[in-house]
Every structure is written in C-alpha cells, then in structure tokens.
Structure 1
Amino acid sequence: MSSIETTRRLSPWRVGIALLALGGLGTAAVFGMQSWAANATAEPDEPWFAAYVDVTATPHYAFETPADPTAPDVMLSFVVASPTADCEPSWGAAYTLDEASSALDLDRRIARLQQNGGAVAVSFGGQANDELALTCTDTSDLEKAYADVVERYGTGTIDLDIEGDALRDRAANIRRATAIADLQSARRAAGEPLAVWLTLPVAPGGMTEDATTTIAEFLAADVDLAGVNLMTMNYGASLEDGVTMVDAAESALSEARRQLGALYTRAGQSISDRDLRSKIGATPMIGQNDVSDEVFTIADAEELNAWALEEKLGRVSMWSANRDQECGSNYVATAIVSDACSGVSQDGDTFTAVLSAGFTGSLALDEHLITTPEPTTAAEAVDDPATSPYPIWAADGSYVTGAKVVWHRNVYEAKWWTRGDLPDNPVLNSWETPWQLIGPVMPGETPVPQAVLPAGTYPDWSGTVAYQKRDRVLFGGVPFEAKWWTQGDSPEASAADADSSPWVALTQKQIDVLMAPAADPTPVP
C-alpha cells in the first residue's frame, strides 16, 4: 500500500475477567475460556475491522490509545527485510525489532493496546522495501524470521501484503507459501493459532493473473488462508470514466470472490458461500488516493460499509489510521496525499467510525478459525426438470445470447452463443466463460415457459431458401427475423456475431405482440 457508534466488542481478555468473577471459578474458568475460544469458531465469527497503522511514519500514531474505543484492533505495518541482513525482520527497513522496542517503544505500546482489550496483527511487505521472502532464500531461515515476529508481539494473525515486483517473483512466492505453511502447521500443533491473510491489488474487473497465481501457490502449499484482502484503491487506467470509487470497489470485490471460489475448486476444496464471503476483505485508501482523480470520501465509506455488511464480508480495513483526520490549515494545500491526514473534508466524522460500524467481531476470536471444506454428494448436484425454471444444460445443446439454463441447482445465462461449455467451469476471468451465474434455483420453482413458438408458426429455416428483409423463420423453435437478404446463413451464429449476422432473434416482448389476438373493429355508429 502507498505512502458511528456501534456495539462494544468483548475481547477474550474481558471474557476471561468475567469468567473469573463468576463464583470464584479460578483456573478452571480460564481453561474453560481458552477451550471455548478455540472451539467456538467452527463457523465464521462476526466480521471485524482493523485499520492499518504505519508504524514508522512520522508523526507517530498513538495506536495504543485509539480515538475510537469500539475499533481497537490494528494492522501494524510493515515488517520487511533488513537492508543489512537478508533474513532479519525490520520495521520499514529502518528499525530492527530490538531497535523498534527502544526507539519507538513499540513492544510496550502493543502490550498497552492488548491490556486495553485490543489486538494486533502484523503486516509483512507493502509497496516499498523488500518483503522477507525476496531476500531470505533459505526456507527454514524464512520461517524463523516470520516466527520471531509472531512470537515477539503475541499475535495470532498475520497479513502478507504482496504487490508490485514482489507479486511477480514466483520463486519468492513459493518460498513464502512454504515457510508460512510450515509455521502455521507448527503453531497449530502446539495449540497456538495463526490466521493468514493475503493482501493483494485488485481492479474493477478482479484480480490479475499474478495475484490469483499467488493464492493458488498458497493453497497448493496447504496454507489455511483466513482470507484475501483486496486493496480497493489506486485503480489508475482500469477505472473507467464515470465509475465511482464505491462502484469500482463493489465490482472488484464481487469478481474477486468469484475468482477465489474458482481457486478453491481448482485446489479440490469445496467451501460454502458463507465461508467464501467471510474470506473476502476490503481495504480502501481513505481520502485522496495516490491517483489524483481518485478520492474516497466519507460518503463513499458509508456506502461501502453498508454494502460490505450486506454482502457479509469477513473483514474491512483502511489505509491508514495515521491519515484519519482532515489536513490542517498549516498545509499549503489540504487536498493532498499525506501520511498524516486524509486530504478531504470529513465534516467531524472519522473514516474509522464509519467503516467499522457493524463490524463487531475481533482479531482475537477470528484467528482461531480453521477452514473445513464441505463434502459434496451427487444428490446435492442433481437437477430435476420438474423443479427447474429453465432447461437443464446439455453438452450437445446450442445456446444463444440471453438463454438461461440450470446446472447443479444454479441458474446461468449465456453471454454469447455457446455449445459444450460447462456453466460452472472454474475460470479465473469472466471473459473465459460464456456463462454468467445468476443465482440458485429457489424452492418451489417450476419450469418457466420458453420463448419459442409452435411448429408451423413460421417456416423452419432452410439453407437453400433465399430470404428477404423482415422474413421470419423458426430455428429450434426460436423465431428469427431477417435484417437483409440472405441465403445459407444459419441463425445459430447470430449470437456469436450479431452485427454481421443477417438474423436477429425476436424478443419475448415482440413474440407477445405478434401472438396477441387482433382487437375487434370499433363499431360504426
């Protein structure tokens, strides 16, 4: 990444105090609380909010005493490789872990936040400097570097912000995935949690091939991903004219969710829609983005928050807490990109309060989640024509643009003419499939009458007949009208190349008009 009142959360620390107060339960209560925290997360916890904090930016941000006590969790960033030692973690290439303790009093400030009921996650990588896997080429040393950070700060959640050149370094990505898989396995074997989030760039059309490949490599290494956090910011040329920042974010997140589902399918894991949604996070850059004409306002934050809650996203963050205030009058220009202010008018609000509203979960509970793939049975995927609104997809069928079919209890619509393309083929890019998923077959549905006409309504199309403009024919029961003189051109190809085809399929509305009974003539007085 670049340079409202809500329900108060119950942290495990507060839960522990409450349990100890219940009749002097003592050690047994603490043990019971730990067991509950470890086992009460078989299903996704409440969604959570944690703002990124740039640890080394000046002036230093006092994350240990958050301005909004209802949003105490933070993402501390960024741990990168030391410029003097390939496998030594540092904060922003400026402080070793020990130096950060003395110069920034970081350890004590983290302990203070945890004492107040907040939790920290540590983010590795970022846009600047070298993420550890880029320089540390020994997997065992790399695992130890990650472990040193996790153990020092007592965090059960890490965030791997992979972007730029780092995202294209396949060798480093594989090393990173292997080291994280080993660390996660070792910690879980020891009874310690480790939730792993990947933070990746995204465009309104979804994630790039480098990003999806990175996810695939983590899944192949058996990393249990807590989720994928998308940087909904700095779209550049991918943001089309007239598209708002919120519209772009919603499009990007929806497409990324579909891509993540395809990646899990390719990895041989079937996860529920609820789990898939909980594995998506959104991180906007508040205020003025690095791209001059991209601005994320308080109103945008309100709209994105409402959408994220409705879509049941697992996480929302922001870049960054350091910037969550208006630029002061001492700035020559207030509409700027700054490490210390948003560059926009906030009208007395904070982005933290707006984006965190309704996100009442916590890092401390979410870190115990373990992904459990769902078994699928043949019975779950059986399609019944009697309870399906549209025909069941058939491999030998031809489908024109707009045709709807049912497959594995879901409704799909053809984006162009297609034959033999599986509707639920797990593609990573929407342009790779002719099918658009509409949604599930609803209980109690019955077949919808198809937009076809009875045989004999119009002549069946023949390749040997010459047709004039406005002549109508039937092709597979579907009525077509000629746009100009034609002979030998099949109506079947009209959906694949509508502009050059001499045929156009009649819409249902046109069919209804054509088939309507003629009105009685008005009687003459």
Structure 2
Amino acid sequence: MRRLLTLAVAASASMATAIGLAPQAMAAVDPVLASPYLYQWGGQTSPTAAMSATGVKAFTLAFVLSDGGCNPKWDGSRSLTGSDKTMIQNIRNAGGDVIPSFGGWSGTKLGSKCTSASALAGAYQKVIDAYGLKAIDLDIENTDEFENNTVQDRILNAVKLTKQKNPNLRVVITIGTETTGPNTWGKRLINQAKAIGANVDVWSVMPFDFSSGGDMAAHTKSAVDGLKNQLKTTFGWSDDTAYRHSGLSSMNGKTDNAGETVTVANFTTIRSYATSHHLARFTFWATNRDCSGGGECSGISQSKYAFTKIVAGYTG
C-alpha cells in the first residue's frame, strides 16, 4: 500500500491478558476480514474514534519496516513497545483487534534487509510475539521486494517457517494488480508459493493506480476475478474456494493517479461483489483519509468515515 503525501487455550489466554485484552473479546474479532488500513503519520489517526463512529472492529496497521537491518520497527523508527503498542491495547480494550502490515511501497523493507528466510521469519516472530497476533499482512511492493525473484522467494520461505512455528497464524499477502489480475510478477509469486509450500491463507490485490480511470467498481471486479483465476490454476481450487482465498484492498476517493477515483457508490458496489463471492478480505487505504475534501482527506465530497462504515458492514 502506498504512503500518501506519498498453543494451548491457557497459553493464548495468558498472552491476551498480558497485552491488555480479555481472551473472549480477542477471540470474537477476525482481524483479516474487514480491517481498513491505518497509519500514524497523518490524517485521522485515532482508531477508537473510528470504531465508535462506524462499528468497525479491526485495523490493518501500516507499516512494520526495517530499522536499517533485520530488526522490525514501526515505520522503521518506532519501537514495538512504544506508542503503537499502546494504540493496539486501546483497540483491543474497545473490543477490536489488529493485523500489522509489513512492507508497503516506500521505506526500507525487512524482506530486502534480512539476508535469509530464517532471519526474516525471526523478524516476523518478534512482532507476532510482541502483540500475540492472530494474523499478519505482507504488503509486497516495488522493485526491492515485489520485482525481485530472490526477495520474493525469501519472503515465501519465511512465511513457510513462520506458519510452521505458528500453525494458527493467518498470513495475508497483498500485491498490486492490473485490471485483468496479477501481472507477471504477481503470477510468479503465487506459483512460487505453491512450489515452496508457503501456505498463504489469503491473497489480496490492490485494484487501483491503473493509469486508466474509468469505472473503478468494474475494474476491481475484473482484477479480483483475475486473481481468482490464477489461484484456481495454480492450486487446482474450485471457483468458490479460490474466491474464499482472495481479497481486495481498494483506495478511497482520488487515488495516486490523476483522473482515477473510487467513489462511495463504487465502494458500495464493490462490497456487494465481495459479499457475493465470500471474499476473505475487504478493506481499503485508509481510514486516515476517510473524510471530505483535499489535503489529508480523500479528495472527494463524502461524509466522514463513509468508506470505513462500508467496510464495517462487510461480513463475508
């Protein structure tokens, strides 16, 4: 996602209590299904305000990056035990949950800085352990991770190791897309996941920045259908199974490309499409900019939190 302006029950209960959440509340929320992105460098950064206003229960927190080596830090600079941990505790105390996102478009990525799959898996594990996570999102973008065979394979092998150590952890991989589905790099990543046995739970595409404008609801449907077809071909799944392993992460309002806009009506149509196919993930970038007008908002006329409310209504 682009920066804008750019295991036993007792053990699980103990972990949940240690990080400030009643186990029953934590168990009730799916952090993957309907969790809009939230970042901490601008715009509307209060998750609990959004939860109160919309009913949304989970957020995808952007981004875990490299500190310059193979150590994870929020945006490459903030400790795992600082303000972000407090924010996660606040979300969980309000009855919600989180899925941290590793990577993104810019910044120094763990996938490129960690020199082995085992080291990268170790970096993932630090974040998993810090927050007692149920899921992680790997947002694989740009030439340093997505368009790099070595790094693609390193990430997938790290996923395999991480899933072996955390069998109940769900892993989402998020990638860019063309209007027809994953490009050559995306197809390679999916095929390599099968070959390596990475056991990715959800494949999610970002159906925007097409440089073409037009009907963004139609483009989104076509892109996700293309993802479904690739998963079906690679894994031998039925249409229904492939859709249930697919997801999408849109962008509210004006995207990074001039002339390309996802309207509230578009996003409502996209949710209906997601519901009809029981997609595993329906989200967008980002709650921070889910407000009317320019600057740090969506660039369109909309009510506050309009897109977050649509996500909150998604039940799969």
TM-aligned CA deviation for residue 81 of structure 1: 1.0
- Determine if contact 1:47/1:312 at 8 Å carries over to the other structure: no
Matched, 1:178 2:157: yes
Which residue identity lines up with residue 315 of structure 2 in the other structure? Answer: T
- Return the alpha-carbon distance in structure 2 between the equivalents of residues 325 and 273 of structure 1: 36
SS of match in other structure, 2:137: strand
SS of match in other structure, 2:259: coil
Matched, 1:107 2:62: no
Matched, 1:350 2:306: yes
Q: Which has the higher contact order (CA 8 A, sep 6+)?
A: 2
Task: From 198, 201, 205, give the equivalent of 1:230.
Answer: 205
Alignment correspondent of 1:313: 279
Alignment correspondent of 2:223: 252
Unpaired segments ≥5 residues, structure 2 = 5-12, 14-21
Mapping of 1:70-85 within 5 angstroms? 70-83=55-68
Task: From 175, 178, 183, give the equivalent of 1:203.
Answer: 178
- Return the alpha-carbon distance in structure 1 between the equivalents of residues 79 and 31 of structure 2: 35
TM-aligned CA deviation for residue 60 of structure 1: 6.1
Alignment correspondent of 2:113: 135
- Determine if contact 1:124/1:159 at 8 Å carries over to the other structure: yes
Task: From 70, 95, 103, give the equivalent of 1:125.
Answer: 103
- Return the alpha-carbon distance in structure 2 between the equivalents of residues 111 and 349 of structure 1: 22
TM-aligned CA deviation for residue 219 of structure 1: 2.4
Unpaired segments ≥5 residues, structure 1 = 4-15, 17-29, 38-44, 266-270, 328-333, 362-525
When residues 47 and 77 of structure 1 are mapped into structure 2, their CA distance, relative to the original with a 3 A threshold, is closer
TM-aligned CA deviation for residue 139 of structure 1: 2.6
When residues 130 and 348 of structure 1 are mapped into structure 2, their CA distance, relative to the original with a 3 A threshold, is closer
SS of match in other structure, 2:247: strand
TM-aligned CA deviation for residue 59 of structure 1: 4.7
Alignment correspondent of 1:280: 246
Alignment correspondent of 2:190: 215
- Determine if contact 2:32/2:99 at 8 Å carries over to the other structure: no
Which residue identity lines up with residue 89 of structure 1 in the other structure? Answer: P
SS of match in other structure, 1:301: helix
TM-aligned CA deviation for residue 71 of structure 1: 1.2
Larger Rg: 1
Task: From 74, 78, 97, give the equivalent of 1:95.
Answer: 78
Q: Report the number of matched residues.
A: 296
Percent same amino acid at aligned positions? 25
- The C-alpha deviation readout for 1:289-345, integer Å capped at 9, x for no partner, is 110100111111111111211222221010001011113xxxxxx3xxx4x311100
TM-aligned CA deviation for residue 218 of structure 1: 2.1
- Return the alpha-carbon distance in structure 2 between the equivalents of residues 69 and 206 of structure 1: 31
When residues 251 and 47 of structure 1 are mapped into structure 2, their CA distance, relative to the original with a 3 A threshold, is same
TM-score by length of 2: 0.86
TM-score by length of 1: 0.53
When residues 353 and 59 of structure 1 are mapped into structure 2, their CA distance, relative to the original with a 3 A threshold, is closer
- Determine if contact 2:100/2:137 at 8 Å carries over to the other structure: yes
Task: From 20, 31, 34, give the equivalent of 1:49.
Answer: 34
TM-aligned CA deviation for residue 130 of structure 1: 2.5
When residues 291 and 325 of structure 1 are mapped into structure 2, their CA distance, relative to the original with a 3 A threshold, is same
- Return the alpha-carbon distance in structure 2 between the equivalents of residues 208 and 341 of structure 1: 30
TM-aligned CA deviation for residue 355 of structure 1: 3.5
- The C-alpha deviation readout for 1:467-522, integer Å capped at 9, x for no partner, is xxxxxxxxxxxxxxxxxxxxxxxxxxxxxxxxxxxxxxxxxxxxxxxxxxxxxxxx
